[in-house]
Chain A
Amino acid sequence: MKPLNLIALLCFLGGATWALTRSDTSVRSIQAAYYSALSPFLKAGSAIETRARNFSKEVKHSTELEVQLECTNAELDKLKQIEQRFSALETENARLRSALEFKQNTPFTLVAARITRRQTTNWYKTVEINKGEESYIGNQNPVVTAEGLVGKIDLSAKEFSTVILLTDEKCQVAAKVEGSPEVGIVSGQRADYGKIPKLRMRFLSKNANLKKGQRVFSNGRGGIIPANILLGTIESVEPGALDSEALVVPAVNFNELVTVFVIPSAKSTQ
């Protein structure tokens, strides 16, 4: 090997070692600096993603309309289009109303946020939301919707945050099963590409007597996720040698998430 290449390799390994040995706090500050530098581009990027998502929905709708056009006359189609727009507005209205009611009825202080980007990393299930430290959102804060738990904040920058979803293996929540003494740990599954990604509830008792459809709630242990937030419903139970595991269908439809609510930590809201 040429001396220059060897020196470059050693410098490279030195740099990599330096990066690998950074503490979590240093990494957070590096990431915060990175995100604040990219902040204007991130806003534009998320706007484009939202527009692309809306466009793909519109394309889907227009394909459906084309089938209907073959059967009905043009006038009726026009009316149907108008009706469809009203229907979309009505659905959105209902969703927002439901979100508003959820915010009013919940015992927690909530910060409403909109999902701006999805799946920002290769292998971890994450989304970005448009609220951050400015809205008193901090790391590890729970993220919920009216349906149930969405995940928790992994990184909060000034104007936005990254949420690690409940469907990711790394997002672990202490849970209990309704109408049963069973408790366990719920987390996502790696490489789950299904339309409805399933959750795993581990460390149940060996002879856990659970039925399909029983609801799973957070039990508040561990101090991050408050108790009694719906996580999902039991789909099946797989007994093991020492304990058993259950497959859980999440309460939240992660593909259709638009608005979420963050529960800021008590300290930050005071």
Chain B
Amino acid sequence: MFRYALFLLLLILLAVVLQQFLPAFQPLYNARIFLLLAVFLCISVTVPLPVVFIYALICGFLWDAQCALSTDKLDLSVFPTTISSLRFGTSILLFGLAGAFMHGFQHLFIQGKWYVSSVIAGVATFIYNLVEYSLVDFIRGSFTVNRGVLQQIGYTSLFSALVAPLVFAALFLIARIADHQIIAGKRPPNRFGYSH
């Protein structure tokens, strides 16, 4: 398990790097392949809950390091209202919630239904983005959901669902390398070439 967890950490760091090469698709309402979240969600069904929380801390921290905006220091006599943005650390909570949601469907993955887990990864991405946008709305004091927002969230979720099988394939490979069982009854062959 320890080796597997360590490899997953490397996979997360790789996802952070790869995320830099994945721009937003402007014609698709700025939707993006949210690779870091997709990797985290897929990992969430293969590890125990405490490990999910550890990875949520790491992923949320890294995502906020990339995205958090600075706090405005505006002259209040000129600007009567300050427009806030999400605080550094908010993504940690959101990753935690999304991971816990995904972990709730772990039994399906253990039964070998990785395709269902892929769809759920898309659903979890939808919830993550919707909650994140709603939080932005909430702290800015008005509720603005339009077709563009839903399209952006929808496409991003679709991309996550499509990327998830590739991530699961990577996780199966990592599990085999780390000699760790992530699906019931499919223990990887040991070093002498036969299964348990």
User: Do A and B form a real pair?
Assistant: yes
Binding site for B on A (CB under 8 A): 4-5, 7-9, 11-12, 15-22, 24, 27-28, 30-31, 34-35, 38, 41-42, 44-45, 48-49, 52, 117-124, 126, 139-140, 154-155, 164, 169-170, 172, 174, 185, 187, 190-193, 203, 221-224, 255
> In the assembled complex, how far is the CB of residue A199 from the closest CB belonging to chain B, in whole angstroms?
13
Instruction: Flag if A15 contacts B67 (CB, 8 Å).
Output: no
Pairs across A and B, CB under 8 Å, 9 listed: A16-B89, A30-B88, A41-B17, A49-B21, A118-B23, A122-B67, A122-B132, A164-B69, A192-B148
Q: Tally of A-B residue pairs with Cβ under 8 A?
A: 152
Instruction: Flag if B96 contacts A16 (CB, 8 Å).
Output: yes
* Interchain CB contact (< 8 A) of B68 among A5, A17, A27, A221: A27
* Interchain CB contact (< 8 A) of B148 among A22, A42, A193: A193
In the complex with contacts A5-B49, A118-B26, A122-B129, A187-B83 CB distance below 8 A: yes
B186 CB-CB contact with A under 8 Å: no
Instruction: Flag if B53 contacts A8 (CB, 8 Å).
Output: yes
B115 CB-CB contact with A under 8 Å: no
Instruction: Flag if A38 contacts B16 (CB, 8 Å).
Output: yes
In the complex with contacts A41-B17, A154-B69, A193-B30, A222-B78 CB distance below 8 A: yes
Cα(A255)–Cα(B118), bound, Å: 34
Number of interface residues of B (CB under 8 A): 62
In the complex with contacts A16-B92, A119-B30, A154-B70, A9-B83 CB distance below 8 A: no
In the complex with contacts A20-B88, A34-B62, A34-B65, A11-B23 CB distance below 8 A: no
> In the complex, which residues 44-87 of chain B have their Cβ closer than 8 Å to any Cβ of chain A?
48-51, 53-54, 56-57, 60-62, 64-75, 78-80, 83-85, 87
